[in-house]
Structure 1
Amino acid sequence: MKRIVFLDYIRVFACFLVMVVHASENFYGAPGSTDMAGPQSYLATEADRLWVAVYDGFSRMAVPLFMIVSAFLLAPMKEGQTMWQFYRQRCLRILPPFFIFMILYSTLPMLWGQLDAATSIKDMSRIFLNFPTLAGHFWFMYPLISLYLFIPIISPWLRKATAKEERFFIGLFVLSTYMPYLNRWCGEVWGQCFWNEYHMLWYFSGYLGYLVLAHYIRVHLAWSRSKRLIVGTVLMLVGAVWTIYSFYVQATPGELHSTPVIEIGWAFCTINCVLLTTGTFLMFTCIKRPEAPKMVTDLSKLSYGMYLMHIFWLGLWVTVFKQTLELPTVAAIPCIAVVTFVSCFVTTKVISFIPGSKWIIG
């Protein structure tokens, strides 16, 4: 299948942003936390507050971008393809590397003392239930798998739906993205109560909205290149400012915060994150090159393996740039992200030369 060039650029961009997010989390995790933010957060200085808000906030589009790229390519599934054929292809593509790295994250950190034997045994015993203790970034795999499971279900509707019908679905999805703010300011709404979490818009919420949005952009959005660029830039800027400010305004330095509270605007299905993601995606659709540079294509092909392994490299470079060199936050976060990105690319590229490497890095 011919590669869609702008999607390669998005994969590379989103993969890098994931590493920016996790580099940033080392500057607001509570004392004693791992390489990723825990239930409580602590900003030591005003500089940490500002630059975590800017770098991490802007990068929160990474996960939704990956969701949109997957939906853009896979939904609806091919004519004549059965549900089971679709599932088989997806499972063979993502599950073997996923489980290999689950095992690695459950065992390898014992070599450098980051994991004890009891935790390792517990992680291994729960490998079919949830991600390991030191692989918090694997949470993403479960909603992605859920999206794959649902694509055959929604494909018949997507083939027949009109632009107006898809806009109706997207409108309800957008309305659902206000729920975190409504719950914060208005309490339980639209049927929510202590014994019922399934509110009125439950079935229009979550990453399914990004799936329908991706299909609508691919099939129904007939805007010119200049209109996509202008509208995309405006949406991206509005979403970025909103997402960055939502954290900055709450994260008072020197105080212990509840992470879910100060990250309310960083949830991937909030309206500001939808604006940020949609705007950025529209901007990337303006790329009309017949093919991407080989480096971009290579990075895109290796991005899954890079995502899987990056926490291994991240911890090392956090030690170097934050603790040993003691760079200021404004420089440390991008340095950690860039060097982690390069390290992951080199590692996955070397692995790619091994026969059968697709079972390890995808």
Structure 2
Amino acid sequence: MTNSSNSTGGRIVFADWLRVVACFLVMLVHASENFYGADDSGLAGNMSKLANESNRFWVAFYDGGVARTCVPLFIIISAFLLVPMKQGVTMTQFYKRRFTRILPPMIIFMLLYTFLPLAWVGMTWDQSMVDLKMLPFNFPSMAGHLWFMYPLISLYLIIPVVSPWLEKASAKDERTFLYIFCFSTLLPWLHRFVSPELWGECFWNGFSMLWYCSGYLGYLVLAHYIRYHLKWNRSKRMKIGSFCFLIGAAFTAWSFWFKGTPGVAIETPMLEWSWEFCTPNVLCATFGAFLLFTCIEQKKAPAIVTGISKLSFGMYLMHLFFLAPIAAFFVNGNAAEPILPVCITIPAIAILTFICCAITSKLISLLPGSKWIIG
């Protein structure tokens, strides 16, 4: 790929498309969770229970097969655009620019998720106070989706450290690291089915042999490798991208379907045994999906795509405020028999949530100082 491919006016066209799609996929994931949680919270907790075969299939299809790449796609596009750092930019300058963009909105929405549900009796004052005390340490109980902010912050912290290496590394050097990263994606499976402690892990050491070569850093290096070293033409990217996405997505969907049995409660980590974002199948699907997006050859994205792309961070932050009541309406207290067939209900929840978030974010963006609220 070339650095200028699919770009216009300083924007990379396929990146705008990817942000919009990935943002919708996040909502599709959370819409699906209403159909395998063991309680009526609307999101999957520690225990899961599928009501029937229809829910089993469609959750596996939408959440696992279609949407499971959403988080790594956000990671990889961020790295694609930010790594390596621009010449002359210091670590302090990089931190100031990135963190002033994401931290104020993150803090505002953490406070909103801590107190706003009190307005509709969605939580108690006692729970709000517990959440408030924990804010310096973790996300509020009503905002589980904000877990993503912490790995994102971690990547921003490490970019100035790895950026000089990436500028000098050869394609072969980066491939060597990526091979190690690919092997590390076996860790979630090994932890579940072999031992919870591997290669040096024990109760006094949580850092295994592969700690520093695993996790989302691998997606960061993969993004750089694709941008600067992958020389495949469009046809090859289309073919390999389609193959990798279909194989990875099919396995991801099958893994959930295989483990779930309608009417039987199961620990959510076991039901989602191959849904972690750094597993071989999700990596394969993400690599394929990203290659497919790079095949977009539009000179300019439609204005609505560019506009939503710019609003996607705020939409992600706020989406549970809309998704919860929309899902409650469709589910109507019975995940086994929602008001529409589950194959329609899941995407309908996601689409309506997406529209509400886009409109709300756009209205907020018209206010002075809106960048402190929605980025």
The AA in structure 2 aligned to 1:9 is W
SS in 2 for 1:118: helix
- Equivalent residue number for residue 340 of structure 2: 327
Q: After superposition, give the CA deviation of every residue in 1:255-274 in whole Å (9 maximum; x if it has no partner).
A: 11100111111000000000
Counting only pairs closer than 5 Å after superposition, residues 42-81 of structure 1 correspond to structure 2 as: 42-58=49-65, 59-81=67-89
Q: After superposition, give the CA deviation of every residue in 1:283-331 in whole Å (9 maximum; x if it has no partner).
A: 0001111110000001100000000000000011112211186222111
Q: CA deviation at 1:195?
A: 3.9
The AA in structure 2 aligned to 1:337 is A
Aligned residues: 361
Counting only pairs closer than 5 Å after superposition, residues 232-311 of structure 1 correspond to structure 2 as: 232-311=241-320
The AA in structure 2 aligned to 1:172 is I
Supply the distance in 2 between the matched residues of 1:247 and 1:108 (Cα, whole angstroms).
34
Taking structure 1 as reference, are residues 124 and 186 closer, same or farther at Cα in structure 2, changes over 3 Å only?
closer
Match status 1:143 vs 2:151: yes
- Equivalent residue number for residue 5 of structure 2: none
- Equivalent residue number for residue 374 of structure 2: 361
Counting only pairs closer than 5 Å after superposition, residues 147-186 of structure 1 correspond to structure 2 as: 147-186=155-194
Give the structure-1-normalised TM-score. Answer: 0.97
- Equivalent residue number for residue 38 of structure 1: 45
Match status 1:205 vs 2:214: yes
SS in 2 for 1:249: helix
SS in 1 for 2:367: coil
Supply the distance in 2 between the matched residues of 1:307 and 1:255 (Cα, whole angstroms).
32
- Equivalent residue number for residue 95 of structure 1: 103
Supply the distance in 1 between the matched residues of 2:201 and 2:302 (Cα, whole angstroms).
50
Supply the distance in 2 between the matched residues of 1:30 and 1:286 (Cα, whole angstroms).
41
Match status 1:350 vs 2:363: yes
Q: After superposition, give the CA deviation of every residue in 1:142-176 in whole Å (9 maximum; x if it has no partner).
A: 00000000000001100000000000000000000
Supply the distance in 2 between the matched residues of 1:37 and 1:195 (Cα, whole angstroms).
31
Q: CA deviation at 1:194?
A: 4.3
Supply the distance in 1 between the matched residues of 2:21 and 2:242 (Cα, whole angstroms).
16
- Give the fraction of aligned pairs with identical amino acids, expressed as a percent: 57
Supply the distance in 2 between the matched residues of 1:358 and 1:183 (Cα, whole angstroms).
41
Q: CA deviation at 1:179?
A: 1.3
Give unmatched runs, 5+ long, in structure 2.
1-8
Give unmatched runs, 5+ long, in structure 1.
none
Supply the distance in 2 between the matched residues of 1:125 and 1:157 (Cα, whole angstroms).
40
More displaced 10-residue stretch of structure 1: 198-207 or 337-346: 198-207
The AA in structure 1 aligned to 2:360 is T
Supply the distance in 1 between the matched residues of 2:258 and 2:204 (Cα, whole angstroms).
32
More displaced 10-residue stretch of structure 1: 155-164 or 125-134: 125-134
More displaced 10-residue stretch of structure 1: 195-204 or 275-284: 195-204
- Equivalent residue number for residue 3 of structure 2: none
Q: 2:127 aligns with which of 119, 126, 136?
A: 119
Supply the distance in 2 between the matched residues of 1:264 and 1:64 (Cα, whole angstroms).
17
The AA in structure 2 aligned to 1:250 is K
Supply the distance in 2 between the matched residues of 1:7 and 1:281 (Cα, whole angstroms).
10
Q: CA deviation at 1:189?
A: 3.6
Supply the distance in 2 between the matched residues of 1:299 and 1:202 (Cα, whole angstroms).
36
Supply the distance in 1 between the matched residues of 2:190 and 2:143 (Cα, whole angstroms).
31
SS in 1 for 2:323: helix
Q: 2:228 aligns with which of 219, 225, 247?
A: 219
The AA in structure 1 aligned to 2:315 is M
Supply the distance in 2 between the matched residues of 1:239 and 1:211 (Cα, whole angstroms).
19
SS in 2 for 1:38: coil
Supply the distance in 1 between the matched residues of 2:42 and 2:83 (Cα, whole angstroms).
35
Supply the distance in 2 between the matched residues of 1:335 and 1:104 (Cα, whole angstroms).
26
- Equivalent residue number for residue 82 of structure 1: 90
The AA in structure 2 aligned to 1:39 is N
Q: CA deviation at 1:186?
A: 2.7
Q: After superposition, give the CA deviation of every residue in 1:88-118 in whole Å (9 maximum; x if it has no partner).
A: 0011110111111111100110111111001
Aligned Cα root-mean-square deviation (Å): 1.2
SS in 2 for 1:265: coil
Give the structure-2-normalised TM-score. Answer: 0.94
- Equivalent residue number for residue 350 of structure 2: 337
Supply the distance in 1 between the matched residues of 2:364 and 2:42 (Cα, whole angstroms).
25
More displaced 10-residue stretch of structure 1: 273-282 or 1-10: 1-10
